[in-house]
């Protein structure tokens, strides 16, 4: 009996011959000694009858990471369903093929490559630069690990046709990813359909017909000078130069083990703010993320060291970036909160920054054709701000690839801590420029004897009180999500809790000029809103709840009742 037959004796952990062949082919072209050793060990164990190894091989080679509008993102390791140098090489060659076929540039298309501090980010970026150059492109590698917003800026700065950022943002420590931006008329925005499918088709061809080890490579790529970083710093420091409220101002910053600190520190000094007290254990890049289980400021426990540092320093504000610094978290003192500090929600930060942008546009007479935009699951409070100031408003599908394309955009946000405050500099979420804008709001309020909490209360008094909540239902069988969505479409609820449903928008049919999507939006008679959609990255069904009241207490009561009604509806469908 062969080793293959021994593995196939257990039907539940069979490794088919074609998957074994795929693994051997992968091994032959993998330039990374670490993943070669990993795969050899798995193959040996699987052929010896190890069921866990067989299951791992099945998971790694029965499919491949799909390239889409978010590029690639997944767990590091050997195999077509992991992030590794073979997959990245195929992606780079496929992207190069697409750019050569579609670029309208005179001469060779230009692509800029950036990377953060995650494991293997530098290797993936270097491989990409060599393959782009080998394909005849002008490839520019950023000078060192840098925040994602610097790469988005660099695409415009160099007039590039495209950009690649190697990052998995705030994903778990063992993940990495490959984000693609388009230049020229797209202004340095992330890719959208149909370009994602066109690039994916090129990658698929490369994976099927080429051997990564024989792809043309060249060392004739350029390494950008520090001038591109200086240009980003110069532009971002002008977002909110310090002029008042800074004397004695103490604040705390954490980079969450990412790459934000060096760039932000220079901008803070340039803009005139006092240097923060940093969370020492988290300020330097470290791809193992030793102090957090999940390097996302929204996750429970991720901000604990920042709270501890702020209490010791007697700080007035905490600013946090995620590991690639494209997101921003903010926390304020709150005596009623456990530990004396409270993180603001993404909607609260977005509404304050949107209000700031609207006031600035009104003050300069620049409201004609100007717009505010947010994802459709973010707070409807931004629409109230736009209406108050006579600005246009756009609700988009989730993701900054859509928000950044809103006509006349002066500010955009999504509730997941993403903010675009300086669209003439970066056409993507930017946690560094957003941090500078928040410092400006905090010190301006401080000069008047107020705090960010006072600004939130003033917002409620001016525009009405908005409250938001989320419900996430994780499932073991993803078909459960499709079944629930189908049931909601076949028998729409007449009420959610005690409040009647006034209107239902099914985005599969296309609504408000939005591209079709698997999203249901319920408008209730009291002005509340419930949005239901499958998660794009996890086996979850997500519900976004929004309510409005004449006071904060009324809005909070409505959102609590709405949440109870939504959970009861889900229980009835499950």
Residue with tokens 């254990």: 281
Cα gap 532→484, rounded to integer Å: 10
Q: What's the farthest any 2 CA atoms get from each other in the chain?
A: 83
With contact defined as beta carbons under 8 Å apart, do 374 and 350 qualify?
Answer: yes
Told to judge if 371 belongs to the known catalytic residues of this protein, a careful annotator would answer no
> Which residues share a beta bridge with 547?
467
Distances (CA, A) of 415 to 36, 278, 319, 401, 494: 41, 25, 17, 15, 27
Which conformational region is residue 365 in: left (phi greater than 0), alpha (psi within -120 to 50 degrees), or beta?
left
User: Cβ neighbours of residue 17 under 8 Å, at least 6 residues apart?
Assistant: 4
Q: Which of 459, 476, 426 is nearest to 359 (CA)?
A: 459
Segment (H or E) for 138: strand 138-141
Structure tokens at 570: 């889900």
In three-state secondary structure terms, 58 is helix
Rounded-to-integer distance, Cα 31 and Cα 127, Å: 10
105 CB-side CA count, 13 A: 20
Please name every residue paired with 179 in a beta bridge, in sequence order, or none if there are none.
165
Find the helix packing angle between 479-490 and 552-573, rounded to 10°.
110
Q: Is 117 exposed, middle or buried (0-12, 13-18, 19+ CB in 10 A)?
A: buried
Task: Say if CB 342 and CB 308 are below 8 A apart.
Answer: no
At 90, list the tokens. Answer: 């195929």
Is residue 509 classed exposed, middle or buried when 0-12, 13-18 and 19+ CB atoms within 10 A define those classes? exposed
Closest CA to 91 of 219, 190, 215: 215
Q: How many CB atoms lie within 10 A of CB 158?
A: 19
HSE of 81, CA atoms in CB hemisphere, 13 A: 11
| Catalytic one of 56, 103, 128, 169 | 169
Whole-angstrom distance, CA of residue 214 vs CA of residue 225: 30
Q: What is the DSSP letter of 509?
A: G
What is the Cα Rg of the chain in Å? 25
**Contact call for residues 80 and 61 (beta carbons, < 8 A):** yes
- Nearest-angstrom CA–CA distance, 493 and 573: 11
* 3-state SS class at 165: strand
Q: What angle do CA 61, 64, 65 make, to 5 degrees?
A: 135
End-to-end CA distance of the chain: 47
Measured CA to CA, the distance from residue 298 to residue 259 in angstroms comes to 18
Q: Which residues are catalytic?
A: 169
């Amino acid at each position: 009996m062969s080793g293959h037959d021994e593995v196939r004796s257990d039907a539940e952990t069979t490794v088919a011959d074609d998957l074994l062949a795929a693994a051997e082919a992968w091994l032959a072209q993998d330039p990374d000694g670490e993943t070669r050793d990993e795969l050899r060990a798995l193959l040996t164990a699987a052929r010896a009858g190890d069921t866990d190894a067989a299951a791992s091989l099945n998971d790694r080679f029965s499919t491949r990471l799909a390239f889409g509008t978010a590029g690639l993102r997944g767990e590091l390791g050997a195999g077509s369903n992991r992030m590794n140098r073979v997959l990245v090489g195929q992606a780079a060659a496929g992207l190069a093929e697409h750019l050569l076929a579609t670029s309208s540039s005179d001469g060779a298309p230009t692509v800029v490559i950036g990377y953060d501090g995650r494991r293997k980010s530098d290797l993936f970026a270097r491989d990409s630069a060599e393959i782009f150059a080998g394909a005849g492109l002008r490839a520019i590698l950023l000078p060192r690990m840098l925040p994602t917003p610097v790469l988005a800026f660099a695409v415009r700065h160099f007039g590039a046709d495209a950009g690649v950022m190697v990052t998995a943002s705030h994903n778990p420590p063992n993940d990495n990813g490959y984000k693609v931006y388009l230049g020229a008329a797209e202004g340095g925005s992330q890719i959208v359909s149909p370009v994602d499918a066109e690039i994916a088709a090129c990658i698929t061809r490369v994976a099927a017909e080429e051997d990564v080890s024989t792809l043309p490579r060249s060392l004739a790529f350029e390494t950008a000078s520090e001038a591109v970083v200086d240009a980003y710093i110069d532009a971002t420091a002008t977002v909110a130069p310090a002029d008042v409220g800074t004397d004695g101002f103490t604040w705390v910053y954490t980079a969450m083990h990412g790459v934000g600190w060096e760039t932000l520190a220079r901008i803070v000094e340039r803009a005139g703010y006092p240097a923060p007290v940093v969370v020492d254990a988290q300020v330097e890049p470290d791809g193992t993320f030793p102090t957090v289980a999940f390097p996302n400021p929204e996750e429970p426990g991720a901000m604990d060291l920042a709270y501890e540092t702020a209490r010791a320093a007697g700080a007035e504000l905490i600013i946090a970036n995620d590991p690639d610094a494209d997101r921003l978290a903010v926390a304020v003192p709150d005596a009623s909160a456990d530990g004396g500090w409270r993180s603001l929600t993404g909607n609260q930060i977005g509404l304050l920054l949107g209000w700031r942008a609207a006031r600035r546009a009104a003050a300069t007479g620049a409201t004609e054709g100007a717009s505010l935009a947010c994802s459709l699951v973010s707070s409807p409070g931004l629409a109230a701000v736009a209406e108050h100031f006579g600005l246009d408003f756009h609700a988009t599908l989730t993701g900054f690839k859509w928000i950044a394309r809103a006509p006349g955009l002066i500010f955009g946000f999504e509730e997941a801590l993403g903010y675009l405050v300086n669209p003439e500099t970066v056409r993507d979420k930017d946690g560094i420029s957003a941090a500078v804008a928040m410092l400006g709001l905090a010190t301006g309020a401080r000069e008047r004897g107020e705090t960010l909490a006072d600004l939130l209360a003033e917002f409620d008094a001016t525009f009405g009180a908005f409250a938001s909540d989320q419900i996430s239902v994780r499932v073991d069988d993803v078909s459960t999500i499709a079944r629930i969505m189908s049931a909601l479409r076949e028998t729409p609820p007449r009420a959610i809790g005690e409040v009647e449903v006034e209107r239902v928008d099914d985005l599969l049919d296309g609504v408000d000029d939005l591209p079709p999507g698997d999203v249901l939006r319920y408008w209730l008679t009291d002005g509340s809103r419930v949005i239901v959609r499958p998660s794009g990255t996890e086996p979850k069904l997500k519900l976004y709840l929004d309510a409005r009241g004449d006071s904060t207490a009324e809005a909070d009561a409505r959102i609590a009742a709405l949440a109870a009604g939504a959970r009861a509806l889900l229980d009835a469908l499950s």
